[in-house]
Amino acid sequence: MPSLLFVCLGNICRSPLAEGALRAEAARRGVALVVDSAGTGNWHAGEPPDERAVAVAARNGVDITALRARQVTRADFACFDHIVALDHANLKDLRRLAPEDGSARLSLLLDWVPGRQGQAVADPWFGEAEGFDATWADVTAAARAIVERLSKDAEAAR
C-alpha cells in the first residue's frame, strides 16, 4: 500500500489540510493509502490543526479535528514511500534531514499536479481565512492528482 507523509513548517495548517484532502479523495475513489502529516519544526507538537484549517476542511466535508501536530523524524524516511513538502524551504530542510539510508522519495506537493511542478503551496498562517480557501484548492487538486497517478501506477504493476 503506498504511503505518503505531508510536511509543512508547524503541521497545523497546510500539511493537515493535505492529509485530510488525500484521505477524503482516496476514500471517495476506493484507493487504499497510508497518509500522515508532520512539520519540520516542533513548536506545535501535540496541538490540533489551526481553527481556520479545521473550518475550511469542514466546509468541504472533511473532518481534521482528530489530527495532532508532530515533528518529522528520521524514521519517517524509511517508513514512507513519499515525503511531500508543501514549499521549497521545507523541501530543503527535508533533504538536509534525510538519512543516507532513507528510501522515501521527496517532492513538492504541487509537483504531483500537471502544470504546477515546482510551485509551492502558500502558507496561510499569517493571513485571513481566504488564504485557507486557496490552500484547500491547492491540496485538493494535489489529492486528485496523487490518487490518479497512484491508481495508474497500481494498474500498470498488475
Higher-pLDDT residue of 134 and 156 is 134
The amino acid that residue 13 corresponds to is C
pLDDT for res 84: 98
* 123 carries an active-site annotation: yes
Is residue 96 part of the annotated active site? The answer reads no
Q: Which of 36, 50, 123, 138 is catalytic?
A: 123
Q: What is the pLDDT of residue 157?
A: 82
Number of domains in the chain: 1
Q: 6 near 70, Cβ under 8 Å? A: no
**How confident is the model at residue 158, as a pLDDT?**
76
Name the pTM for this structure.
0.97
- Determine the Cα–Cα distance for residues 41 and 29; give it in Å rounded to an integer: 33
Q: Could you report the per-residue pLDDT of 120-150, keeping only the tens digit for each?
A: 999 999 988 899 999 999 999 999 999 999 9
Q: Residues 81-119: pLDDT tens digits?
A: 999 999 999 999 999 999 999 999 999 999 999 999 999
- Partners of residue 8 on adjacent β-strands: 39
For residue 19, pLDDT over 90 is answered with yes
pLDDT of residue 128: 86
Which bin fits 30, alpha (ψ -120 to 50), beta or left (φ > 0)? left
pLDDT at residue 138, rounded to an integer: 98
Q: How far is CA 84 from CA 49, 51, 108, 124, in A?
A: 18, 23, 5, 18
The CATH number covering residue 136 comes to 3.40.50.2300
β-strands 3-8, 105-108: how paired? unpaired
Q: Cell for 158?
A: 498488475
Would you state the cell numbers that stand for residue 58, as one nine-digit string? 469542514
The parent domain of residue 88 ranges over 3-157
Options 8, 52, 70, 76, the catalytic residue: 8
What pLDDT digit, counting tens, does each position of 25-83 carry? 999 999 999 999 999 999 999 999 999 999 999 999 999 999 999 999 999 999 999 99
Residue of 13, 14, 23, 70 with catalytic role: 14
